[in-house]
């Protein structure tokens, strides 16, 4: 399965492509950053991001596009641009009938390191280790996109292909599943369900 990970951003949108093979063996395919000029209007910047993402999807024909789930930050302008870039990635995938997965930064950290509060350098090192890369991907947006793809490949039992069950999960995957379940429970309680 080919997974295209996206770390959405309006100035730099990270794109990482991996292959998840038999026994969850992960292989590096591609990493890049789609850039837009901050001196142009926002509509043209979004068009640049969209066109760049479309080109990557056309080139690599992923089975799934995994995108960082946008969460509230203190800087409203940053979160707005990030959400719009994520929307461009979702649109590009939806137009081609490619399933989209959304994973929070905490889910990604848990899947990659087993620690939902891991530092960025820890994520970068684990991405390089998991994919057998000689150097860490740069810039950070590129490493984050690969981490997003890896997170999706290591998702817990219910979403695994081939009927694999929970006994085959790694410790990090079990922690990921537990954190995801707890977050969904909290969300349901918050919404009064």
The range of the structural domain enclosing residue 168 comes to: 2-190
Q: Catalytic: which of 32, 68, 74, 166? A: 68
Q: Catalytic: which of 107, 124, 141, 144? A: 141
- In this prediction, residues 66-95 reach a mean pLDDT of 88
Task: Specify the number of domains making up the chain.
Answer: 1
Q: What 3-state class would DSSP assign to 8?
A: coil
CA separation for the pair 151, 115 (Å, rounded): 13
CATH number at residue 22: 3.30.420.10
Please measure the distance between the N-terminal and C-terminal CA atoms of the chain and give it in whole angstroms. Answer: 36
What pLDDT is attached to residue 71?
74
Higher pLDDT, 157 or 83: 83
Binding site residues for Mg(2+), as ranges?
A: 7, 68, 141
Q: Catalytic: which of 7, 107, 124, 144? A: 7
Higher pLDDT, 162 or 191: 191
Known active-site residue 178:
no
CA separation for the pair 49, 37 (Å, rounded): 10
* Closest to 156 measured CA to CA, from 98, 104, 106, 110: 110
Known active-site residue 68:
yes
* Closest to 3 measured CA to CA, from 116, 113, 108: 108
Structure tokens at 181: 């379940």
Known active-site residue 63:
no
pTM for the complete prediction? 0.80
What pLDDT is attached to residue 8?
96
């Amino acid at each position: 399965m080919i997974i295209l990970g996206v770390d959405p951003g309006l100035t730099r949108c990270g794109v990482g492509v991996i292959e998840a093979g038999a026994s969850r063996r992960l292989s590096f395919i591609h990493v890049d950053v789609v850039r837009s000029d901050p001196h142009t209007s926002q509509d043209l910047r979004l068009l640049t991001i969209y066109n760049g993402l479309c080109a990557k999807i056309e080139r690599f024909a992923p089975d799934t596009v995994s995108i960082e789930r946008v969460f509230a930050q203190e800087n409203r302008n940053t979160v707005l641009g990030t959400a719009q870039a994520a929307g461009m990635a979702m649109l590009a995938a939806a137009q081609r009938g490619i399933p989209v997965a959304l994973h929070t930064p905490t889910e990604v950290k848990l899947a990659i390191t087993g620690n939902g509060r891991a530092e960025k350098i820890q994520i970068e090192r684990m991405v390089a280790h998991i994919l057998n890369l000689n150097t860490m991907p740069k810039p950070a947006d590129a490493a984050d996109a690969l981490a997003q793809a890896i997170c999706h490949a290591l998702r817990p039992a219910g979403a695994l292909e081939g009927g694999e069950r929970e006994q085959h999960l790694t410790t990090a995957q079990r922690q990921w599943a537990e954190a995801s379940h707890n977050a969904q429970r909290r969300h349901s309680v918050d919404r009064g369900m």
